[in-house]
Structure 1
Amino acid sequence: MVKLVGAMLILFAGTMIGFQQAARFAARPRQIRHMIQALQRLETEIGYGYTPLPEALARSAAHLPEPISSLLRGTKERLDEADGFTFRECWERSVTEHWPGTAMKGAEQAAYIRLGSALGISDRDDQIKHLKLAMGQLKTEEDAARDDQARYEKMWKSLGVLIAALVVILIV
């Protein structure tokens, strides 16, 4: 009886680990898409609304799901604190704090940080160009993430169950 309960727990745990890994592969393209939407909102606020950057960040964050909204909100909050940090430093600190809560990888982070070094220091047209460049880079990463999702999501689901079954067989 104890062996049966232990075997079921091992199977359950292995299956959940596999499904958790598969969920990360599914979340990455969705989060990149939300990041692109955030940059499109910023582009609209800056380009057409002539909105100051901190207010544009707040407005964009209000319409986005987590964890993307927390990246933008974190930057705005640091700007409001006015500790003498530049926009770039506030942007990078927000990324450092909130990025681990995302399913995105280093390539997306690098594109996002590069964008932060260009925002707030140039004219409106130049900022829009940098936003479009970042959106293009993120679109490329989104396509790669979708390929990874198609390739690895089902594999991780199966692998979790199979490894758990192997452990159960080896133990019994």
Structure 2
Amino acid sequence: MTDKQKVTLTVNGRREEHWVEPRRLLADFLRHDVGLKGTHIGCEHGVCGACTVRIDGRTARSCLHFAIAVQGSEIETVEGLSEDGRLADLQKAFHDAHGLQCGFCTPGFLLTAEEFLAENANPSLDDVREAMTNNLCRCTGYVNIVKAVARAAGLEQEEAGHDR
């Protein structure tokens, strides 16, 4: 039996302290110990992006990090995007542009898009498309996801709607 270790993280601005096995993945820590179900586990290999969170301000795949390895870090999950239960502008853009179907991949896309938009004040549509290639969606053709991010970036909707 493995001895548990104490992990202390700040998750969405709130201090979380739990005793976990050293092999506990950050994704499992967030879902099972903290109770935040927005971080999804898809491929468990860091490929799909469904488990994307922010670790100390940078997006990362939470299925690739042990909880103890990020001891003391600040973690932001999709639940941290909205304030007081209101949708953040990016979440509203996804809603308005129908940038989701089943929703499984949406948390990862939202955090990826949030970081992208914070780093790119005036992205082109091609920039948006390129940024969204790091996450996988099994339901959509990505058109509405790109529309949603383009809308959040302030790009013209007619331009964003054209498929290549």
The structure that is helix-richer by fraction is 1
- Structure having the higher strand fraction is 2
TM over 0.5: no
Please give the TM-score of this superposition, normalised by the length of structure 2: 0.26
Bigger RCO of structures 1 and 2 (CA < 8 A, at least 6 apart): 1
Which protein has the larger Cα radius of gyration, Structure 1 or Structure 2? 1
When the two structures are superposed, what TM-score results if normalisation uses the length of structure 1? 0.25
